[in-house]
Amino acid sequence: MKAHIITIGDEILIGQTLNTNAAFIGERLTQLQIKISGSSVVPDVEKIILEEFERTFSSNDLLLVTGGLGPTHDDVTRKCVVDFFKTELVEDEEVLSSIKSLFETRRRELTDTNRSQALIPKIATPIINSRGTAPGFWIEKEDKIFVCLPGVPYEMKNMMENFILPKLEKRLERNSFIVNTDLLTTAIPESVLFDRLGNIEKLLNGAKMAFLPSQFGVKMRITAQGETEKDAQNKLDEIEQKIRAQVGRFIYGKDDDTLEYVISKLLIERGLKLAVAESCTGGLINNRLTNISGSSQFLERGIVAYSNAAKVELLKVDEDTIQKNGAVSLEVARQMAEGIKAISASDIGLSVTGIMGPTGGTSSKPVGLVYVGICDDKLCTAKEFRFGSEDRLLNKDRASQAALEMLRRNLLGISYDD
């Protein structure tokens, strides 16, 4: 099966919004061994949308379109679908019932504008949107499939996972199987990771691997193929074992894992309570931890002690230490971790202090300098990091990741300097 992805929206075209939809769809279709022939972005202009439908539908088995299904004047995709297939709109009772239920849940009055979203092309099978009001469409014509989904990412992803992908998988005939996995690393640069793995071609033995770096670390995407699904999975498992033997201490998770999720499992399994004191990250670490459902089981409290006075008053950091070493120092980071642990009676105290930039740096303490402190019942220590960037938000991401990774290694008994 060959597919083309069309993303509709002026905001995507001008770069105001990142096209994460196309990336998600492309990845999921590839996992089903559907070949992506192309991906295009078009504005909210009927003539251009229709021309793109005409150009891509005839040369592909599957056309998947996102965007422009909302209730406002610039949402023209539905009208274009009607014109392209020379059909008409009809009200669908199941879609209308879903919209009504959503409005009742949110205690909002259903307007005529929203009711109109229950109108779908007559030749289409509706795709219920359980997270919004705009339904999707599944149309089959001339042995081809035409799919329309809303552009809101979390709505689109839900409809892809629960309707589109299962329906497509049933139609596919396979003579081989492809499986893949993502190994997630942090605290190791891409080049160092590559060197530590040694002979990549020998390691992979016919499989494929991509290195995908970000501010949080490097993702290793491994893809293996076999005559059966079990054969492909066995190859993948063998490669993963070899990689872990080389760089396992840098791997914190797989696939959709986040570092904060991995840490939450470790803390809950061990029955430990954590308290976090943040300065330069301004609550980002606590935000990430509280993104985890059930975080109250392990997170006792979090404090943003941004000023020197707050560090002294709330965390009992010694004022002379700040005067002597500066607020951004190993000594202060260690005392912040020790202080938050003591005042919260938690098992572990975690702290971070640094210079996020783009201003505030000096020759001895440049922008991107960060200290992370950690304190448990056995030791209180701190570590220095230099991120070398003047991008404030990037430094905050990296600082939060470094702090969480230091915590993960502490929980597993792995030295950060290994």
Q: Is the pLDDT of residue 358 over 80?
A: yes
| pLDDT given for residue 387 in this prediction | 96
* Cβ–Cβ under 8 Å, residues 371 and 384: yes
Question: How many domains does the chain fold into?
Answer: 3
- Same domain for 303 and 210: no
CATH, residue 8: 3.40.980.10
Q: Is the pLDDT of residue 355 over 90?
A: yes
Q: Is residue 255 very low, low, confident or very high in pLDDT (cuts 50, 70, 90)?
A: very high
* Span between the terminal Cα atoms of the chain, in Å: 47
Q: Is the pLDDT of residue 418 over 70?
A: no
Per residue in 209-240, pLDDT (tens digit) is 999 999 999 999 999 999 999 999 999 999 99
- Same domain for 219 and 133: no
Q: Which of 79, 83, 164, 104 is nearest to 129 (CA)?
A: 164
- Same domain for 332 and 309: yes
| pLDDT given for residue 416 in this prediction | 80
326 falls within a domain = yes
Angle between helices 392-412 and 259-270 (to 10 degrees): 30
- How many distinct helices (H) and strands (E) make up the chain? 17, 17
Per residue in 359-382, pLDDT (tens digit) is 999 999 999 999 999 999 999 999
354 falls within a domain = yes
- Same domain for 270 and 135: no
Report d(CA 397, CA 418) in Å as an integer.
23
- Same domain for 157 and 107: yes
Per residue in 71-87, pLDDT (tens digit) is 888 899 999 999 999 99
30 falls within a domain = yes
* pTM (2 d.p.): 0.85
- Same domain for 105 and 57: yes
- Same domain for 356 and 298: yes
User: How large is the average pLDDT for residues 263-290?
Assistant: 98
- Same domain for 263 and 250: no
Q: Taking all residues of the chain, what is their mean pLDDT, rounded to a whole number? A: 96
Q: Is the pLDDT of residue 175 over 80?
A: no
Per residue in 391-407, pLDDT (tens digit) is 999 999 999 999 999 99
417 falls within a domain = no
| pLDDT given for residue 222 in this prediction | 97
User: How large is the average pLDDT for residues 309-329?
Assistant: 98
Per residue in 137-161, pLDDT (tens digit) is 999 999 999 999 999 999 999 999 9
Least confident interval from 50-59, 99-108, 403-412: 99-108
- Same domain for 333 and 283: yes
| pLDDT given for residue 174 in this prediction | 73
CATH, residue 250: 3.30.70.2860
| pLDDT given for residue 68 in this prediction | 94
| pLDDT given for residue 390 in this prediction | 94
Tell me which of 171, 193, 208 is where a domain ends: 171
- Same domain for 274 and 240: no
Provide the domain limits for residue 151. Answer: 2-171
| pLDDT given for residue 176 in this prediction | 83
Tell me which of 171, 202, 232 is where a domain ends: 171
Helical ranges in 224-275 per DSSP H: 229-247, 259-270
DSSP symbols for 307-370: SHHHHHHHH---HHHHHHH-SSSHHHHHHHHHHHHHHHT-SEEEEEEE--SSSS--SSS-TTEE
Q: Is the pLDDT of residue 417 over 80?
A: no
- Same domain for 150 and 200: no
What residues are paired with 220 via a beta bridge?
A: 183, 211
| Residue 86 neighbours by CB distance under 10 Å | 7
384 falls within a domain = yes
User: How large is the average pLDDT for residues 181-187?
Assistant: 97
| Residue 258 neighbours by CB distance under 10 Å | 16
| pLDDT given for residue 317 in this prediction | 98
Dihedral angle of Cα 357, 359, 360, 366, to the nearest 10 degrees: 60
